Structure 1
């Protein structure tokens, strides 16, 4: 019976990550209700797998590390650029991701998400230059705005796929 809850949480987590990425692309916002839903799915998932992947203590530590890391980066970037650089929704997203992944894997997910966000930004910059026919020399890269949520969602999903690759063996003994 617990296997069904674990499977539903995985499906729910994937759907919520997709919805968060889509909404952030369109609105540059990550709704608190969806981020909370992702966190709840993570908690119920680990509860239903009897904390096979991550202990309760590691869940808390992962949330603190994931959210804390991005909160510090946000504070430094806001100070450096003297404007809002990362939203608190991104901080909350990595906090929820830390509940799913624990302390070690949330760092991998954050790095993978930053890399995915970088490539997303490069694609947007190239598209903007060619679509708007803006001369490369007059293109102001410092004004390029890229939502961070889709990159972090991709990093979380890729890391979760790696981390939970043994899930079928646990669900179907």
Structure 2
């Protein structure tokens, strides 16, 4: 395979090969667990659900972590996690959900630091969740997803997935740069 044909096949907008029911069921399970977990974290920030701190305490936490306008950052993070998580769980606008969560995890990893991988002070769980989000964004949501039933989003479009991850990463790093 020549380099040009490899590049075309990698970024092709044509349908991916047919997948099996087992493959799509696995993607559905992963989307539901990761997406609903992220949505839950977002609602903890926004509404104090599931024993979460709510907006006021989350805003103070963002301020203490060096973010300007901690309350606004709490709303942005809560919405990114809630809407990104629900989008991922439903398989709705999957590349955009992946972008929102990518920006979030870049900031989570920056705040937590990368000095240790394993608990109690490590980022093992965050890295695993982030990898799952990136993997789902790149693979697409499978056929048991809302995107599959929307004509414009039915096909896995690698170009859109890569672009969404890039946009999410750039947005995440921009936010990191405004942090004290």
Q: One fold, TM greater than 0.5?
A: no
TM-score normalised by L of structure 1: 0.28
Q: Which has the higher helix share?
A: 1
| TM-score (normalizing by structure 2) | 0.27
